[in-house]
Structure 1
Amino acid sequence: MKNKNENIITSHEDLQREIAEHKRVEALKAAKAEDEKNKSNAIIEAIGDGIIIQDTDFKIIYQNQVQNDLHGDHVGEYCYKAYESRDSICEGCPIELTFRDGKIHKAERSVITDTGTFYFELTGSPLRDSTGKIIAGVKVVRDITEIRRNEKALQESEKRYRSLFETMLQGVVYQDAEGKIISANPASEKILGLTIDQMQGRTSADPRWKAIHEDGRDFPGETHPSMVALRTGKEVNNVVMGVFNPREEKYCWINIHAVPQFRSGENKPYQVYTIFDDVTERKRAEEELREGERFLESVFASIQDGIGIIDKDMNILRVNPTAERWYPYAVPLVGKKCYEAYHRRRERCEVCPAWKTLKTGESAYKVVTKHGQGGKEVGWLEIYSFPMIDTATGEMKGAIEYVRDITERKRVEKEKDRLLKAIDNTTDGITIADEKDRYIYVNAAYAKIFGYLQEEFIGETWRKITPPELIAPTEKELTRTLHNKDFGTFRGEVPGLRKDGTIIPTEVQGTTLWDGDGNYLGHICVVRDIAERKQMEETLRLFSEAVENAPDSVQIVDLNGHIIYSNKATEEIYGFSPEEFRGKHVNELNADPEFAGKIILPAIKESGRWVGELTVKHKDGSTFPIWLNASMVKNSKNEPIAMMGIIHDITERKRAEEDIKKYAKELEESNRMKELFIDIMHHDLINPLTAASGFIELLKEDEIQSRKRIYLETIEKNLVKMLELMDSATKLSKLESSKSIELMAMDLEKVINEVIGNLSHLAADAGMKIENKINMSMPARANKIIEEVFTNIISNAIKYASSGKRIVLECEERKGCWNIRVTDFGEGIKDRDKTVIFGRFRRMAKKGVKGSGLGLAIAGKIMKLHNGRIWVEDNPEGGAVFIVEIPKLESLYQHH
């Protein structure tokens, strides 16, 4: 009995222990379940999307806080009544479809409010029990309003830029990595004379382009800018090329800019685009932003963006399948440091948003590069980091990283920026206007054309750059063309009003943008400043008119000597019409048929010019002399392209030359006779006159009667006058026949002092005073004959200006010369006489004053032989100022 009781007691104790152990295990399970629940709640609240759980009767049994904030708490209600005010399940309900086939389904709903239309993406997924039976449905509600708005804006933008690409004045061609053309705009079709179907598949090396350099040499295909850009990976700019346009059957010249294109992380171009000719805008293509939203079967897995949960030490606790797909080379991710798994780094990233969240407890955002295997950059990620809070304790357990791959968006943005940059760097002005014709985009070239800053145009209309008197007619024309859906374009030359008020000629092409309903959205306008072109056209016209109507003959020949142009004067000289001239060789027009080919043409090609006289043939067979001035014509690259000759008929000149030779011979004989006469006069007349003068002096001494003495003095004065005249005439004759005289170093101050000393008694007799204010040495190279100049000027002042009572001499030092000023205070010299007094036999008329009229002529000739000059000016105080200018001798210069 005792043993039995002991066994019962033992069994009871064992049972008690089992019950206690069972309770302990149940308590642990409950605690673990509560912990898992808290974690799940934290994850759900951090996701940022609305979460709804519905039972199989579509009754709402759970909503997270995000859903409550967005649409209110409707737990216990039927979803179709709560959100759609319906009595039955909505058509296309993703939860209903999930209940049917057990798969994930999506739907989209729009809600119209007072503030606009909002769009939501609904994702339904099944919730199963342990046996796999569907017991509820999970609905993820994501606000995609901003995405839809961006998509709509992107579509409108793409439509605008597609129209811009189609209306560009410059040609745009895209080629793949092998150089094959893959697309081209209408401008390129027009410029190249080929349709896009004809161009596609061609490379720049295709011989059918018949590409040539400016000088006519072949342009090898491998050196085409696009092929060079593909080969080197560098831009090639401003290459001029001629290509054959089969539509117009002629060459056209294009200026090419080739730009290689790279994919992110690659260093070899995958394509190249070229811009050429007069297009200012190239095709702008922006691919629609693609964000694939994939959701997992559960609430956590429904998010198609990468989700990762890390602890405070940045260890990965959990990731969704999307994150694992992004980093397959690092799987398994759980247990690793986030920077090791995602970025292949050994230390924390400097820009990590999760680190900021762990430090501050606040959400963070950052765009970072996405790394692939080996740490290679493969794209871009947009990271949102949220604190993971334990709802039971309020303690932060770690951080949740919500990651989106924005590589495609970045690529589109980069493509957009690239296209805008290309448009902004074109030489033609480009604008985009809204439905009220207000500018919403203006490139730099457009602003420069009209003298404004780009920002000064935004919000303005075309009226800002239109002359006031043209606004009304322009509005009428735009109504007929640009604003007319049946027309939709405008093209023409329009006067433009610059900011400074000047009017410039412009070439305008506008294209309208319409929406799908035919509503006017705005327009794209391409403007080109054609002032320089207009000016060049006018200059060319004037030049052509000037050449055609030039009094001298103008002829242009090719490098082989065949005539390609002759003006009207050429026809008058030769008798041939321009049509008869064209194609003739210049040898055919010369009396010597080989002279041009052997002498003139080779000389022009060698030295660039030939000038000379030759004999040519008239159409009637007669010959006549011409003077030819021929030169080489070169292009902008300094390359010879033709030869031009200016021809002057010198028949009359030749006759005149013969007459001149005859006259020169007669003049030479006349001068010889003049010199003979002067020699006879000097030798045969001076001696008798001198003897007569001596006898008169003797008779005066013996004559007592005053009347007879007066007669004798009169005879004596006339004899002296004749001697002076003969002496002056002899001097002037010798000076005029002299081309140079011997010069030596001398001080002009001493020369002047000596002259003053010689003439002081004459001044005193006339009641005049000579004031010499020259007190400095004046070294110069001169001849002793220079004394004649100062003697003549001072003696003239004594004769003609005695009423002034004084004569003043001054010196002024100038650069390289001396200016000696002789000032009198007499009656002065009239302006009409200031030049003629230096001629022969010219003198001032004054009663009682005798003279030959040769003195100043001799002085002028002497100064010319000294490389100096002499002239007369007015004395402000009355009288005249004679100025003698003579070169200095610097080496002898010194002050007293």
Structure 2
Amino acid sequence: MCEEKNDEQMNHQLNLLKKTFSSIQDLIVVIDRDMRIVTSNWKNCDSIPANEKKSNPLCYSCLMQRSEPCGSCKLLEVFATGACRKFEIEDPLDNRTKLIELSPVFDDDDNVIFVVRHAKDISERKSVENILQMREKQQAAVAKLGQEGLAGADLDELMQESVKLVAATLNIEYCRIMKNEDGKPSMVAGVGWEEKYERETEAEKNDIVCYTLYSCEADMIQDNDSQERFDNLSMLKGKGILSGMDVLIGSKEKPFGTMNVHTTQKRVFTKDDMNFVQSVANVLAEALSRKQTEENLKKYTRELEDANYLKVLFTDILTHDLLNPANIIRGFTEQLIIIEDESSKKNLLDKIHKNNEKLIYMIESASKFIKLESIDDIRFEEQDLLPLMKKVIRNFEPEADKKDIELSFVHALEYPSLINPLIEEVVLNLLSNAVKYSPPGGKISINVSDMADKWKIHVADIGPGITDDDKTMIFERFRQADKGSVKGSGLGLAIVKRIVELHGGEVGVDDNPIGRGSVFWFTVKKSLCNP
């Protein structure tokens, strides 16, 4: 009676299971302890031959195409432990990625009598995940190379690092950089190439060209007007190469060479792959351009270091060759900040913009200093210093308000002086430093003292202060204070000193009497008609 009851209960449970998953599209089978399939929704699976669906086939034979159970059978683990199992496999029935879920079915005595095997197709999801992982890997590789390029890495080392990264990221066997020198390409960096192969064909004329060698002739993925460039691809076939990609390094008019990607796999490179390799090529092109610029600057310096017009030439390089690209970067960065919605990218753009602004300031400061260095005397005018100072202070009020800094200017009715308009740069620079290094909620005091035949202008802040050792050198060009004191390009205070010296005055810095911060000061001559 007991066995009949168990059989009746088992049949009842099987009928319930059939009703439960009969409408499910994924393949579901119920397996007993003898590893036989007792029921399933076969109708939803065309990958299993009809003859194998008859009777109660063994699960490993029918589902895994094996003659014996798998080495570490997870099905038996579920029968033994009563715990569910979940794992991924490449399904031998259709070669697609499946998520397998094994769930136990218990009898009234809590014994596992069946295991339900649910196979869910996750191929598309895995494909998307792989694409996203590849993109992330590619972006990280480009970022790494970009940082090394900006840091001034050795060009040969950067090229070798580039081919290694491209080969590893794309999972291909061969990558090389071919330099086009005097119309004869030669390999300057490579992975997988034991010999420095050279191609007799002319340099590539396109930005990106992808090709496969499945047949006797190259099957182009992108159009190319220079079909004859594939005439000597027999060398690639000799290495067992089936697919490749060529990317130009530098401009079409005057290229440095190409980056070549090759693999023995039958592979069609995606748009993301193309963009990645082109991005790497662009990093190399920028590094080459920087190297060329450095070499040109060194050449200029060697040729003109003893010439009187070196300063004028260097000023032109600063204001044109360097300042113009920096201003272009400023324009594009500001436009991207406006239209970019993604916070991480917006944050990076903000950092680029801030550092580019520093670069522009340094270039402009260097240009001013060079011009001031070449001036022996300037024209002075009798002028009231007060309106000039009010103008500069008024211009800094918005910046001070952002940090909740109080600008205090106690003054008389007028300060007749013998000055040049350049003196405005002195007030502007000292006030700029005071605002920059004052803490939020601080106070900056500006006042003018009567020194008989001179006016002494004071700018006091409550910032970090200047050490006694630093006070002796911060007004020298390209010298900066130590950590905790004024930092910068090393030119701002040198410009201040030069302008004040041209006025026949003095400049200096003292500790703020209140016990915190500094007082920068300078002197100018009073007007000759001043009583």
TM range (shorter): 0.3 to 0.5
Give the number of the structure whose residues are more often strand, by fraction. 1
TM-score normalised over the length of structure 1: 0.25
TM-score normalised over the length of structure 2: 0.41
Larger radius of gyration: 1
